[in-house]
Amino acid sequence: MKILFLDQSGELGGAELCLIDITKPYQDSCLVGLFADGSFRKLLEQRQIPVQVLATQPIQVRKQSSFAQSLGSASSLVPVIAQVVQKAREYDLIYANTQKALVIGGIASFLSHRPLVYHLHDILSIDHFSRTNRRIAITLANARASLVIANSIASQAAFVAAGGRAEITEVVYNGFEPELYQSHQANLSQLKKPFGLDGRFVVGHFSRLSPWKGQHILLEALAQCPKDVTAIFVGDALFGEQDYVQQLHEQVANLGLEERVRFLGFRSDIVELMAACDLVAHTSTAAEPFGRVIVEAMLCGRPVVATEAGGVVELVEHGHTGWLVPPGDSQKLAEAITSCRNQPEYTATVSHQAQLQASQRFNLTTTNQQIAQLLNRIVGSEQ
């Protein structure tokens, strides 16, 4: 099957990392069309996945755009749509991986008479999207998509609650290759040395720096934990949230946490870094659609404390495969971290259970089989 994948981002967010895995079986017969250049394009090239940047101008519509702003930027879409229509004629199916890709892919699918699949990585709620953008996404998906693949039941439910047609949705979780996450047997204190944190309890936070990812909540919690509890923050502000980065550094200074916190920026050696952590914290203050980092930490055999909202409750069973705390509650987070630090044996049992369960529930082979079956159904019914 020949697939034209579309994604708006040049950066490596979770949706893009997920797409790399999905494109793999179609390596010889697909094209990934991007609307921005950046590290995503480079990684696709390294993995030998055909890729082309289709837009030379950045597309201006933002998640919180108003109707007037959306309308104003519509004209900037015309050249990209024209390119996508031309490309689409060489493929059997258009696979939109992001919201702007849905807009462009939706119009292009109409003009090129190709079926459209939308991979929904977002919770289409007021916390994440303006009313206008939700309406555009729902209207286009309802009118044009043969299938909406939701990354969790929570994302599916939000789509339906916003007016999306339930009958075109299917839930497919992100898949992973468990063998890539097997922790190295190296001595934990050796792994911590580069950060100057050996001998201390290290909490890892792996996420782009963005207010809704809640790094500030972990800093607040850290100030309430015993003094040997430290944190590494892995990730960068991918979508221009520099003010928040500044705010985090000020918060570290105000709380006197300079000796207990390290910011490592964006890194590609996630597995090695997770192996150096005693615990991984996920602190999103708004509902997380899925949360790849949670599964990655489980596969690395690291205990996870995560916030109880969105798709996360489908990943973590409280007290059995990790711990859940209310979003935005730094006190509960501090209590959960401290209790893991104080009960290493119980914590290890839970993280071992989580590792076993995650390698079965979130396996890339199964995910790619599910997607192949769904896509075959669509392309088969078109012919």
Binding site for ligand GLC (CB under 6 A): 13-15, 18, 121, 151, 174, 288-292
CB of residue 289 to ligand UDP, shortest distance in Å: 7
Nearest to 197 by CA among 268, 278, 270, 271: 278
CB of residue 151 to ligand GLC, shortest distance in Å: 4
d(CA 117, CA 114): 10
CB of residue 18 to ligand GLC, shortest distance in Å: 4
Residue 270 contact, options ligand GLC, ligand UDP, none, Cβ 5-8 Å cut-off depending on partner type: ligand UDP
d(CA 112, CA 89): 6
- Give contact residues for ligand UDP (rule: CB under 6 A): 13-15, 17, 206-208, 234-235, 266-267, 270, 290-293, 296
b/e code 71-80 from CB counts within 10 Å (16+ = b): eeeeeebeeb
Residue 151 contact, options ligand UDP, ligand GLC, none, Cβ 5-8 Å cut-off depending on partner type: ligand GLC
CB of residue 76 to ligand GLC, shortest distance in Å: 24
Nearest to 6 by CA among 31, 25, 28: 31
CB of residue 159 to ligand GLC, shortest distance in Å: 14
Query: Backbone phi, then psi, for 163, in 5-degree steps?
Result: 110, 5
CB of residue 63 to ligand UDP, shortest distance in Å: 12
d(CA 229, CA 338): 8
> Is the Cβ of residue 296 or residue 329 nearer to ligand UDP in the bound state?
296
> Is the Cβ of residue 6 or residue 84 nearer to ligand UDP in the bound state?
6
> Is the Cβ of residue 255 or residue 264 nearer to ligand UDP in the bound state?
264
d(CA 258, CA 255): 8
> Is the Cβ of residue 10 or residue 235 nearer to ligand UDP in the bound state?
235
> Is the Cβ of residue 87 or residue 121 nearer to ligand GLC in the bound state?
121
CB of residue 210 to ligand UDP, shortest distance in Å: 8
245 class by beta-carbon count within 10 Å (0-12 exposed, 13-18 middle, 19+ buried): middle
Residue nearest to ligand GLC (CB): 14
Residue 212 contact, options ligand UDP, ligand GLC, none, Cβ 5-8 Å cut-off depending on partner type: none
Write the CA distances from 285 to 138, 217, 308, integer angstroms. 24, 8, 9
Residue 160 contact, options ligand GLC, ligand UDP, none, Cβ 5-8 Å cut-off depending on partner type: none
Q: At what angle do helices 131-144 and 99-112 cross, to 10 degrees?
A: 30
